[in-house]
Amino acid sequence: MPRVADHDARHGQITDAVQRLIVRDGLATVTVARTATEAGMSVGLVQHYFTAKDEMLLATFTRVNERFTARVDALVNRGEAEGRTIAEMLRQALAELIPLDDMRRAEFLVRLAFADQAAHNSRLADVQRATLTNIRSRVTQAIRNGTVCGEVTAAVDATEHALRIVAFTEGLALHTHIDPVGTPKAATLASLDDHLGRVFTGTCRRAQRH
């Protein structure tokens, strides 16, 4: 058991170092040697866990996506416990994609860097596609849950609107990255609320009974 824990810790230490390098200097500057220095370990130890640079990059991309998913799961669980509306929980989840603080900004830079790399790397493209598919799927399910609850009308096409919502959110994320001063947090979240409000137009029947 300690060996597994040590392996996971080392794995995380290396991928965290890759993320810091990407955020600070860009993806093109990432090498095994620089990663080892950043992580505070030997090149040989890094190569023990990752035999090739591409494997190290793929693991970093995957780890960033897993962290996002874990945060969303925690937000949904807390929202359900607090009796929040589906629209509120979806808004909180989508806001995790927008670079509104240092942590989300770092993750956005990693996703942005890998988006370019994925155009020429099928393995990264597969992870990128799977991540997008998962996000759209979860938004689709949220809309369907809203239909059952009463927050969304039955006429709404969940799949179609999930695509629009995710694309809109990614657009907000890019604008926030490019022009953070001209895209303040309050205005960004208000825009997201407005967009979601066009789909989630009703009140949950559970809330109406209280």
Q: How many residues belong to the chain?
A: 210
Q: Summarize pLDDT for 96-116 with one digit per residue, the tens.
A: 999 999 999 999 999 998 888
Nearest C-alpha neighbor of 144 from the set 156, 126, 132, 133: 156
Q: Which class is domain 54-209?
A: mainly alpha
pLDDT at 207: 53
Residues 6+ apart with CB under 8 A from 145: 86
Q: Which CATH architecture fits 1-51?
A: Orthogonal Bundle (1.10)
CA distance 37 to 24: 14
Q: Summarize pLDDT for 116-144 with one digit per residue, the tens.
A: 888 888 888 898 899 899 999 999 999 99
Q: Worst-scoring range by mean pLDDT, 84-88, 103-107, 125-129, 179-183? A: 125-129
pLDDT at 106: 92
Domains 1-51 and 54-209 are alike in CATH topology: no
The radius of gyration computed from the CA coordinates of the chain, to the nearest angstrom, equals 19
Q: Is 202 exposed, middle or buried (0-12, 13-18, 19+ CB in 10 A)?
A: middle
Helical pair 122-149 and 102-118, crossing angle rounded to 10 deg: 120
As a whole number of Å, the end-to-end CA separation of the chain is: 48
Instruction: Tell me which residue has tokens 């809330």.
Output: 207
Q: Where are the domains of the chain?
A: 1-51, 54-209
Instruction: Tell me which residue has tokens 């205005």.
Output: 187
CA distance 35 to 41: 9
- What region does 40 belong to: left with phi over 0, alpha with psi -120 to 50, or beta? left
pLDDT at 206: 65
Q: Are 18 and 30 in contact (CB under 8 A)?
A: yes
pLDDT class of 86 with cuts at 50, 70, 90: very high
Q: Summarize pLDDT for 188-205 with one digit per residue, the tens.
A: 999 999 999 999 999 987
